[in-house]
Structure 1
Amino acid sequence: MGRNFSNWYDFLMNPLEKRKFNMIRKELLANATGNVLELGSGTGVNFPFYKAAEKVTAVEPSEHMIKHSLSKIKQAFVPIEVVQASAEELPYEDSSFDTVVATLVFCTIPNPEKAVMEMKRVCKPGGKILLFEHVKMENRILASLQDLLTPIWKKICDGCCLNRKTLELLESHQLKITKVQKYYGDLFVYVECQNQS
């Protein structure tokens, strides 16, 4: 991620965070237990919401985002380690984590299919995978608009794709989806999964 985008990210997201996202994050991350891995931790917005975890390892590919996240570690209730790494090549052994978390990150991962495979690999069998993502909408007109806007949006928002089918991607990799909640129509989804592998 570019320096400019990381500088403005929290400011631009603040209205959504205050209105709804903080509540969603709080509910989702209450289920993050044991040894937790967070993919694409960005500016560390999730860090203060971890209460039930023993430890959180947060991976983030952007050094600029990592710099912005360090101050939020002080707001955390659990130990947090930030590691510069990509979701497609996680530097961890198989079955290392009890819970894997991803929030508003699958839209920007260059190879989301590889990231799901890695997420499954490092999550213990029977472990939890928790996501909050924006996805391609079911309404055909709105979905077409997302397709139309994505090339421009990617340039403006540092690679963010408006039209990712993340829920379908999870299902295609045999993750057992135990809960789905939709927000703002079906633009945003809250997903709880169990790793069956």
Structure 2
Amino acid sequence: MSVVSKYNRISRIYDLIEAPIEIFLYGRWREEALSNLKGRVLEVGVGTGRNLEHYPAAAHVIGIDNSEGMLEKAREKAGGMQNLTLLLMDAEHMEFPDNTFDYVITTFVLCSVPDPVKALKEMRRVLKPSGELIALEHMRSSNRLIAWFEDLINPLMYFLIGDETTRDTLENIKKAGFTIIEEKNLAFKDVFRKIRAKP
């Protein structure tokens, strides 16, 4: 089963599954990362729209996802937002011109994109030279015990939702040609991180 099929299948209960971690961790990270943005913003992997409430009116947001089921939930959350457009689109093949966006946002997405470096190269392409990638992601820990646990649960997570817990996302961002300007550990040592990068 493809990653898209998995997300279409679980889209109706996805928010319920993630509710505890959203309440205790994700929600405040989203608020801190997104609440001061302005200009043209692309959110890659908008999912069920968990970030939408955190974008200010000064941000003109385009959210893309390749799961119609997840987008349906995002449309429900969007309500009457005038500064938002939601599109069905593949992160690895984006239909935007070069140098379009001031910000590209990913939140817990790069673990499930089939080819994360290819998708990141697309993100770099559509960013303006002065633009910025902001990524809230989980990734393989440098702590051996935590990494062992990630290796242990990786097959199950991939089977259930196409989520790979063992990716070196920081290195993937560098491979795509970005320059890291901030790397901040958020939780569980260095599993959850905020990364800001320039194209």
TM above 0.5, one fold?
yes
Structure 1: how far apart are the matches of 2:186 and 2:12? 27
Matching residue within 171, 176, 185 for 2:174: 171
Structure 2: how far apart are the matches of 1:75 and 1:25? 21
Q: Unmatched 5+ residue regions in structure 1?
A: none
Aligned to 1:133: 137
Aligned to 1:33: 38
Aligned to 2:14: 9
Q: Is the 8 A contact 2:133 2:196 kept in 1?
A: yes
Q: Unmatched 5+ residue regions in structure 2?
A: none
> Shift in Å at residue 153 of structure 1?
1.4
Aligned to 2:28: 23
> Shift in Å at residue 141 of structure 1?
2.5
Matching residue within 112, 116, 123 for 1:112: 116
Q: Does 1:190 align with 2:198?
A: no
Structure 1: how far apart are the matches of 2:118 and 2:93? 8
- TM-score of the superposed pair, with normalisation by structure 1: 0.92
Q: Does 1:149 align with 2:153?
A: yes
Structure 2: how far apart are the matches of 1:138 and 1:46? 28
Matching residue within 98, 123, 126 for 2:127: 123
> Shift in Å at residue 33 of structure 1?
2.2
Identical pairs, percent: 32
Aligned to 1:58: 63
The amino acid across from 1:135 in the alignment is M
Q: Is the 8 A contact 2:185 2:194 kept in 1?
A: yes
Q: How many pairs align?
A: 193
Q: Does 1:84 align with 2:88?
A: yes
SS in 2 for 1:119: helix
> Shift in Å at residue 186 of structure 1?
1.1
The CA deviation string for residues 6-28 of structure 1, in whole angstroms up to 9 with x for no partner, is 11110111111111211110111
Q: How large is the Cα RMSD of the aligned pairs?
A: 1.5
Which has the larger displacement, 173-182 or 17-26?
A: 173-182
- TM-score of the superposed pair, with normalisation by structure 2: 0.91
SS in 2 for 1:18: helix
